[in-house]
Amino acid sequence: MNEKLVYVDGREVKIENEKNLLEIIRKANIEVPTFCYHSDLSVYGACRLCMVDIEGRGLSPSCSTPPEAGMKLKTNTEEIREIRKTIVELLLANHDSNCPGCPKSTACQLQSLSKKLGVGEVKFKKIETKQPVDRSTRSIVRDPNKCVLCGDCVRVCSEVQGVGAIDFAHRGSKVSVLPSFGKDLSEVECVLCGQCVRVCPTGALSVKSEIDEVFKALGDKNKMVVAQIAPAVRVALGEMFGYEPGTAVTGQIVGALKHIGFHKVFDTSFTADLTVIEEAEEFLARFNKGENLPLITSCCPGWVKYAEQYHPQILPHLSSCKSPQQMFGSLAKEFLAKLYNIEPKDLVVVSIMPCTAKKFEAKRDEFKHGEVYEVDHVISTYELAQMIEESGLNFKKTHPESFDMPFGFKTGAGIIFGNSGGVTEAVLRYVDEKITGKKSDSYEYKAVRAGNGLKEFSAEINGVKINMAVVNGLANAKKAVESVKKGEKDYHFIEIMACPGGCIGGGGQPAPEEDSTNAMRTRGLYDNDKMLQLHKPQQNPYIEELYKNFLVSPGSAKAHKLLHTKYHSRRRITEDSLALINAGDIKKIKVSVCVGTSCYLRGAQDLLHRLIKYIEENGMSGAVEVKASFCFEQCSKGPSITIEDTVINHCDFETACKAINSRLDKMKTSVA
Q: Point out the residues that are catalytic.
A: 279, 282, 299, 319, 358, 361, 366, 503
How far is 386 from 464, CA to CA, in rounded Å? 49
**Cβ atoms < 10 Å from Cβ of 490:** 12
**Exposure string over 240-270, b if 16+ CB within 10 A, otherwise e:** bbebebbbbbbebbbbbbbebebbbbbbbbb
Ranges of beta strands (E only) in 139-235 are 140-142, 166-169, 176-179, 205-207, 224-229
Residue 164: what are its φ and ψ, rounded to 5°? 70, 40
How far is 165 from 110, CA to CA, in rounded Å? 24
Helix (H, G, I), strand (E, B) or coil at 196: helix
Q: Is 477 exposed, middle or buried (0-12, 13-18, 19+ CB in 10 A)?
A: buried
Whether the Cβ atoms of residue 500 and residue 452 lie closer than 8 Å to each other: yes
Calculate the CA dihedral of residues 6, 11, 12, 16 and round it to 10 degrees.
Answer: -60
Whether the Cβ atoms of residue 397 and residue 388 lie closer than 8 Å to each other: no
Whether the Cβ atoms of residue 409 and residue 403 lie closer than 8 Å to each other: yes
How far is 447 from 459, CA to CA, in rounded Å? 9
Q: How many residues does the chain have?
A: 672
Q: Going edge to edge, which strands form the sheet with 58-61? A: 11-14, 5-8, 72-74, 51-54, 58-61
Q: Is 575 exposed, middle or buried (0-12, 13-18, 19+ CB in 10 A)?
A: exposed
State yes or no: cis peptide before 144, omega within 30 of 0.
no
How far is 89 from 144, CA to CA, in rounded Å? 18
Helix (H, G, I), strand (E, B) or coil at 61: strand
How far is 11 from 481, CA to CA, in rounded Å? 49
H or E segment at 288? helix 268-289
Helix (H, G, I), strand (E, B) or coil at 336: helix
Whether the Cβ atoms of residue 41 and residue 63 lie closer than 8 Å to each other: no
What is the dihedral sign for C-alpha 367, 370, 374, 376?
Answer: positive
Q: How far is C-alpha 135 from the chain's CA centre?
A: 17
